[in-house]
Every structure is written in C-alpha cells, then in structure tokens.
Structure 1
Amino acid sequence: MEIRQLHNFSRIAEVGNLTRAASLLGLTQAALSRQVAQLEAELGTVLFKRNGRGLVLTDAGQRLLAHVPIILRQIAAATRAVRGDEGPVQGTLVLGLPPSLARTSVVPLIDAFRERLPAVTLRTVDGLSANLVEMVESGKLDCSVVYNQPPSDLVEMRLICEEDLYLVSGPAAGDNGKAPPRTLALADIARLPLVTAGNTNVIHVALATAMAAVGLEPQVAHEIENLSAILDLVQRGYGSSVIPLSGVHSCIGNPELTLHRIGKPSALRCSLSVLRPVRTLDDALIEQGTSLISEVVRQQLAVFHANVERSIDA
C-alpha cells in the first residue's frame, strides 16, 4: 500500500462519488479508479460497492477506513521527526473538544492558529471526555481537552485551569414557582429536578460527589447527552441543569434562562486539561499546538467568567 493510495481512498469514502473525488484530488476518474483497483487487488477484497447515489464502503472498506487516519498521522509525525526543527511547523492537528467548549471556542482557536501557526490546519471532533481520552490513546486524535480525567500511562495530561460550574434554570424553576436565588447551595440544588448528560458524565459525577459528601443526592428528571437539547429542555421548564462555564456563556441575554452561582460551602469546579499521546512528546507540531490551545482556552474562560458574573449581578 502507498500513502497516496490511502489518502485518495479516504477522500473517495468521504465524498462517496468517484468523479467528485477525482476532481477534488486533481486526478482523472480513470487514474483514481485504477488506484482503487490496485489497492483492492493488493488487499484481496472489495472496498467499495455502488448504490443509487454513488459509492459506499463495504465492511472491509469500513475496517480499512478506521485505520487510515491513524496511519497517515503516524507517517506525518515520522516525517516531522526526521526533518527536526527546520522551518515553521506544518501539518494537520486533530483536536477533541467537549461539547461545551466546542460551542464557544472553535472560532477563537482557529483565529489563533491562523495568526500563530499559519501552516497548521486545525480539525476538531466533539465528544464526551471519557470517549476523547480513548481516541487520543488509540491515535484517532492528536490531542484533546477533557474534564476531570484520571492519569493514564498512554497520555500526558497538562492542567489548563479549574472551570466553574453553574446552574441554569428556566421559567418557574424554584419552589412555589419562584426563581431560585442567584447563588445556590448544594442543598438548594438537591431540591430541583435536573436535566443531566447521564450518570457517567463527568459534570454530573462532580455534582453527585459533592452532594454525597454532605449527605445529599441530585434529583435527575431527564438524561440527555446533547448540550443544546439540555438547554432547550431547561428553557421549556423540564428542569434545571448544572453546566460548565463554557457552556452557560451562550445563555447570557436569553430571557428564558437564568444563571446561578453554585456556592455555600464553596464553588463547584471541574479540572480542565489538555492531553496528548506520550509517544508524541518530541513532536513539535503537537507541542506547539497544545500550548496554543491551552493559552486560548484559558483566555476564553477568563473572559467568559467575567461576562457570566456580570450577568448574574445585573
């Protein structure tokens, strides 16, 4: 197998049409078709089948596609290692982000990469923290920002900051139809029906652990993984939700949503870290990329914190 064949195979799989893929790759359809035939002959299996709309992967093609991004990233990393520190870093950095940060930080991150690392293309993937860790460990991601994850022998984890958690309530969320106070104790939250991202979600685990320490437990009314859907349910009065600072910032100005600090006895926080595979510790692209990601996320959260606190005090 050649690197070029694998790259072109993944592009065909992405667009699902041989003619369109050939145009994007700057090849003739005949030349691209020959590459596919050569790859299938070498592997001894069919990778694509035709349907009414174009080409779709066979089961064998799906299995190959799962390995291709990892292979291409390893080759790119090997190339960078051979070249050493000559010239500015370049290539593609695939970054995992939790949903709350994906909603608010992608544009600032791309702006920062364009300014500071212009030869680097940033790609982002959304996911829950535990899933993102597994993707970094397996090589499917170059790095990721995650919440409250235990150490691993396969990844290096660097703390970015401690991110505050807030309660978001909707219409008539408090007792007797009254809005809860703007600063809540855990005992106040324990009386509210909550919309959460599930019992294994790191934000819910942080809340449940803090409550358990004072003999309380959360009342989970609905479990929904999608952050936008959670906020929609809160806005419609199905319950309240505990959400990280990066997720509640977009709620400012929404007349149907109210933000509340969590305190008494102390604020509720989650650690936010950036992680990368230990095998990439000498990779300049990932080193500079993760440093820039940490800087931008830290700056964004400082701005968000000031905005949210002003909103609560208004």
Structure 2
Amino acid sequence: MRQLRSFVQIVELGSITAAAERLQIAQPALSRQVQALEDELGVRLLSRHGRGVIATEEGQTLADRARKVLEDVELMVQDITARDHRLRGTITLGLPPTVAEVLATPLVADTLRLYPEVKLRITTGFSGHVQDWLQRGTIDIGLTYQGAKVPLVRVQPLLMERLFLIQPPGSPQAPISLREALAATTILPSPDHGLRKLIDQAALQNGVPLNIALEIDILPTLLAFVERGAGSTVLPLVSVFPLVQAGRLVARPIEEPALGRMLVIWTSLNRQPSRLMRPFTEMLNNTVRDLVTSGEWPGTTL
C-alpha cells in the first residue's frame, strides 16, 4: 500500500524528487520502491526525461487503479473508526491562487480547531487545472470560477465576486461604466486565462474593441506595470486590497452593468463521498461566510 501511495504521488507530480519531498522520504529509497514495483510487475512504469518522469501506458493504468484502491482503503478505515464519531482522514482541496491567498489560512485554522484529526492538503492552480485534478481524482474538492460545464461533477455556488477596474495612483475613484472600463488601455492575462475569457466575452457582447498594451500572467508583475502607469487591469478587489489601502493603486467599481464571476465548489459524481465530505464542505461554507460578512473578503456577496 505504501508503494502504491508513493507511485501515485510520483505520477501526479511528474518528479521523483518532488514526490520524495512531499512524502518526506529519501529520494534513493523512493527510487528503490519504483524499481521494486517494476520488478514485481515485469513492466516499465516510468520514463525519465530532462524535467522529471512521465508514466508509461502501464504506469498510468497502475496509477489510475491505485487511486481507486487507496480511496476504498481510506473509506474502509473511516467506516471502521466511525464508532467514536471523530472525523479522521485526509481531504485534498484545490484552489485558484487568488482564492488561496484569502481562504487558505482561515480554513486551515478552522480545520485544526474543529477537526484536529483531519489532515487538510491544499494545492493551487488555475481553474482549468483544478477541474482536471478533480476529474483525475487528485483532489477531493475544487473551488473554481464558474465557466464551461464539466461532466460528472456536482457544482455548488459559493459566492459572487465583483470585478473592478484597477488603475494607477491618482486616478479617479468614482465607479466606471463597463463600456468605459473595456475601452481603457489595459494590461491583461493571456487569452487562455479564465478572467481574460470573461473580459473578452464582455467586450464582444458590448461591441467594444479591447486596447491591450501588455499580456502578463504573473500577478505581481502585472500590478507593478499598472502602478507605473502602463495601463489599467480588471481584477477582484481582494487581489489588490492591500495596495489600494496603501494608496499604490485605485480600484473603481465597474457598473452599468456590473461585471462579476461566480466562485463554485466542485465535487466528483464518480467517487463515493467519504464521511469527511459533508462536514468539511459545511465548514468551508461557514469559513467563506465569515470572511465575506466581516469584510475580510472584500468585493464579494453570498
């Protein structure tokens, strides 16, 4: 069972070194585990390349089936230990980076306080990555911004996040119409980014050609160019709130109409939910509600 867990980690991370760090196992010992599996099965499970490893066809089959076996073992252990009514086990949560910045710390604190025997793992990635991880069984719960429909997942609305036009210091602070915001010289993420797709769609629907000065996917770099006056951008308030409070950026509400996006909870319909799922999801909702009502997640509504 330990070898299977280790192998699944290697395949998911694409690196024996990264998996060894995650599992807190010496790299040579982890390599020996893989070699033992290959010797036992009589097939090659991993192909090595300059940036790490990738599963062979046989290795991917083993990883996919091993995930199901490990999940069943986890459920069995939870059922056996359910007599004392204490929740135990592991929950893996996938979050977009901007959501993780505001949610991860209070969520970990609430988990430690309410469910001290539950191990919470948090991984971050863009919404498309989170959806892919959920479908592959790498994570148990995913938070993403609602976009295209994905088969075999359950979607639960969590909050509505309003978008703002972010401008250099000294800019007007009054609300701005959507058409005016879209017509501004902008610095935006690349076209594959979920937020960029939303902005492109809004521009198309309103017949406003975008004037894009730069495309930058690294948020701190993007904001640095906005602060220098190279252009404006469109973001949720939480992404820039400290900089706005410090007077380094201006956040203008977009109105007529407002522009926003829905953050949703994704869970898989292909997997049997563990005993942890319902209470953890309830706690997640409560943590988010507290952050919104207290103003710690600004620019959002439930």
TM range, normalised to the smaller chain? Answer: 0.7 to 0.9
Q: What stretches of structure 1 of length at least 5 have no aligned partner?
A: 51-55, 172-177, 310-314
2:78–2:88 Cα contact (<8 Å) kept: no
- Of stretches 178-187 and 32-41 in structure 1, the one that deviates more from structure 2 is 32-41
Number of paired residues?
A: 291
Following superposition of structure 1 onto structure 2, how do residues 39-78 of structure 1 map, counting pairs within 5 Å? Answer: 39-45=37-43, 57=53, 60=56, 67=64, 70-71=67-68, 73-78=70-75
Aligned residue among 299, 308, 312 for 2:290: 299
User: 1:76 offset after TM fit, Å?
Assistant: 4.4
Following superposition of structure 1 onto structure 2, how do residues 168-179 of structure 1 map, counting pairs within 5 Å? Answer: 168-171=166-169, 179=171
- Of stretches 241-250 and 40-49 in structure 1, the one that deviates more from structure 2 is 40-49
AA aligned to 1:148 is Q
User: 1:185 offset after TM fit, Å?
Assistant: 0.8
Aligned residue among 230, 235, 245 for 2:227: 235
In 2, distance between residues paired with 1:72 and 1:180? 58
In 1, distance between residues paired with 2:135 and 2:153? 7
AA aligned to 2:224 is D
User: 1:11 offset after TM fit, Å?
Assistant: 7.4
AA aligned to 2:67 is I
- Does 2:213 align with 1:215? no
In 2, distance between residues paired with 1:220 and 1:62? 44
In 2, distance between residues paired with 1:139 and 1:208? 31
Change in CA separation of 1:17 and 1:268 when aligned onto 2, cut-off 3 Å: closer
User: 1:66 offset after TM fit, Å?
Assistant: 6.0
- 2:133 is paired with a residue whose SS is helix
- Of stretches 134-143 and 65-74 in structure 1, the one that deviates more from structure 2 is 65-74
- Of stretches 82-91 and 291-300 in structure 1, the one that deviates more from structure 2 is 82-91
User: 1:111 offset after TM fit, Å?
Assistant: 0.5
| Residue aligning to 1:174 | none
Q: Which runs of 4+ in 1 moved over 6 A?
A: 47-50
In 2, distance between residues paired with 1:210 and 1:114? 41
| Residue aligning to 1:286 | 277
- 2:158 is paired with a residue whose SS is strand
| Residue aligning to 1:6 | 4
User: RMSD of the TM alignment (CA)?
Assistant: 3.7
In 1, distance between residues paired with 2:287 and 2:263? 13
- 1:239 is paired with a residue whose SS is coil
Q: Sequence identity, in percent?
A: 25
TM-score computed with the length of structure 2 as normaliser: 0.79
In 1, distance between residues paired with 2:260 and 2:294? 17
2:292–2:298 Cα contact (<8 Å) kept: no
Following superposition of structure 1 onto structure 2, how do residues 154-165 of structure 1 map, counting pairs within 5 Å? Answer: 154-165=152-163
TM-score computed with the length of structure 1 as normaliser: 0.76
- Does 2:146 align with 1:148? yes
2:16–2:53 Cα contact (<8 Å) kept: no
- 2:3 is paired with a residue whose SS is helix
Deviations 1:235-290 (A, max 9, x none): 23222111123323343333321111111x13221111111101346422122222
User: 1:107 offset after TM fit, Å?
Assistant: 0.7
User: 1:46 offset after TM fit, Å?
Assistant: 5.8
Deviations 1:115-142 (A, max 9, x none): 1222111111211112211221121211
In 2, distance between residues paired with 1:94 and 1:229? 30
- Does 2:203 align with 1:205? no
In 2, distance between residues paired with 1:94 and 1:73? 14
In 2, distance between residues paired with 1:69 and 1:239? 49
- Does 2:258 align with 1:267? yes
Change in CA separation of 1:98 and 1:69 when aligned onto 2, cut-off 3 Å: farther
1:91–1:119 Cα contact (<8 Å) kept: yes
- Of stretches 37-46 and 158-167 in structure 1, the one that deviates more from structure 2 is 37-46
2:188–2:196 Cα contact (<8 Å) kept: yes
| Residue aligning to 2:76 | 79
| Residue aligning to 2:110 | 112
In 2, distance between residues paired with 1:49 and 1:152? 31
1:249–1:308 Cα contact (<8 Å) kept: no
Following superposition of structure 1 onto structure 2, how do residues 31-46 of structure 1 map, counting pairs within 5 Å? Answer: 35-45=33-43
1:274–1:294 Cα contact (<8 Å) kept: no
User: 1:158 offset after TM fit, Å?
Assistant: 0.4
In 2, distance between residues paired with 1:133 and 1:226? 21
